[in-house]
Amino acid sequence: MHLTLRQLSLFESVARHRSFTRAAAELHLSQPAVSMQVRQLEESAGLPLFEKIGRRIQLTEAGREMYDYARRIGQSLQELDEVMAALKGVQRGHLRLSVATTANSFATRILAAFSQRYRGTTYSLDVTNRKTLLDQLSGNETDIVIMGKPPEDANLEVRPFMENPLVVVAHPDHRLVHVPSPVPLQALQEEVFVVRERESGTRIAMERFFNERGMHLKTGIETTSNSAIKHAVEAGLGLGIVSIHTLDLELEVGALVVLDVEGFPILRHWHLAHCKGKRLPPIAQAFQEFLTGEEGRHLLSHSVPVSRGPG
Ligand code: PGA
């Protein structure tokens, strides 16, 4: 059957109005032009689509089927239009993404996959701590951020998307590696910890955890870098508490071990956040959907190393 989208759309209008005259008026065409197109459609179908009952026209059985398909095709075309318009917005888009220092390892991987999908897009990626992320959001200096759970009163639209377990890491020769599992929590009070800066979400979560248990940890080196914590722990300068997402080859090659400590891991979650009421640019919306959708979940499921406790 040879038909054109134009014939279908003229037919849809005539069928909806049950009138050639009103369809012609709606489409700003002459009535003979509309009749001719509909006649050609009937010829391709090989069946009459309308019949005249009294002074009014009605759809035949074939006409009702044709009308049903014409409407569905019309809706699909409209959706296609909307999708293309949205994609044009994404394709030319610039995404301002800010992520917590700790989220950097998987965020760059997601961004790489996303930019493959939407070529021609550009990005600015800021990697910083929790406090700065919250400042950026309130100053509208970023479109969207990846961070630990933001405070309730921050007026943000928030979507959790992945667990963020914090674990205790030690040098493989550390004395606690050799005590029977699980290591009692109190044993940590004898140790020195290499910690993140005070504005870091990891540091805040870790301090809350110990405060709630009436404990106070001895802190040694304080640093803004998760890599620096790992290097310091590898160098025997103390224990570290880091997100499992910061660990990678260190576990594989045995440079660090994750201690099985009572009450650990401290379970946190990663969130996508943007200002409430902010109209997200199409690229930021697309990024949000990508990260929380099938593809993002698949990529993220490969970003958590298998943690190995002692022994
Ligand atoms: P951060 O991580 O420690 O790198 O600031 C953010 C968070 O866990 O909230």
Render pLDDT for 21-37 as a digit per residue (tens, 0 to 9).
Answer: 999 999 999 999 999 99
* Banded model confidence at residue 306, pLDDT cuts 50, 70, 90: very low
> pTM for this one?
0.70
Interhelix angle 20-27/5-17, nearest 10 degrees? 120
Lowest mean pLDDT, pick from 81-95, 143-157, 173-187, 275-289: 81-95
Give the model's pLDDT for residue 113.
92
From the list 125, 79, 85, 69, the residue with the least C-alpha distance to 101 is 125
pLDDT surpasses 70 at 6: yes
Cβ atoms of 6 and 44 within 8 Å: the answer is no
Pocket test for ligand 1, best of 127, 129, 149, 229 (most atoms within 8 A of CB): 129
Give the model's pLDDT for residue 242.
96
Number of the ligand 1 atom closest to the C-alpha atom of 243: 8
296/292 Cα distance (integer angstroms): 6
Q: Mean pLDDT across the stretch 288-292? A: 93
Query: Cα of 135 to ligand 1 centre, how many Å?
Result: 14
CA 233 to chain centre: 33
115/119 Cα distance (integer angstroms): 6
Number of the ligand 1 atom closest to the C-alpha atom of 199: 5
Q: Mean pLDDT across the stretch 165-169? A: 97
Number of the ligand 1 atom closest to the C-alpha atom of 203: 3
Give the model's pLDDT for residue 7.
96
Reported as a single tens digit per residue, the pLDDT across 142-164 is 999 999 999 989 999 999 999 99
Reported as a single tens digit per residue, the pLDDT across 202-222 is 999 999 999 999 999 999 999
Reported as a single tens digit per residue, the pLDDT across 89-126 is 888 788 999 999 999 989 999 999 999 988 888 999 99
Pocket test for ligand 1, best of 102, 135, 224 (most atoms within 8 A of CB): 102
Percent of the chain with pLDDT over 90: 75
Number of the ligand 1 atom closest to the C-alpha atom of 131: 5
Pocket test for ligand 1, best of 98, 99, 101 (most atoms within 8 A of CB): 101
Give the model's pLDDT for residue 305.
52
pLDDT surpasses 50 at 309: no
Give the model's pLDDT for residue 259.
97
* Banded model confidence at residue 279, pLDDT cuts 50, 70, 90: confident
Give the model's pLDDT for residue 204.
94
Query: Cα of 66 to ligand 1 centre, how many Å?
Result: 58
Residue whose CA is at the smallest distance from ligand 1 atom 2? 201
Query: Cα of 199 to ligand 1 centre, how many Å?
Result: 8
CB-defined site of ligand 1, < 6 Å: 100-102, 129-130, 147-148, 196, 200-202, 268
pLDDT surpasses 90 at 307: no
pLDDT surpasses 50 at 310: no
Number of the ligand 1 atom closest to the C-alpha atom of 226: 4
From the list 173, 144, 166, 174, the residue with the least C-alpha distance to 156 is 144
Query: Cα of 303 to ligand 1 centre, how many Å?
Result: 17
To which residue do tokens 């045995």 refer?
A: 254
Q: Mean pLDDT across the stretch 138-142? A: 87
Exposure string over 93-118, b if 16+ CB within 10 A, otherwise e: bebbbbbbbbbbbbbeebbeebeeeb
Q: Mean pLDDT across the stretch 266-293? A: 92
Number of the ligand 1 atom closest to the C-alpha atom of 164: 8
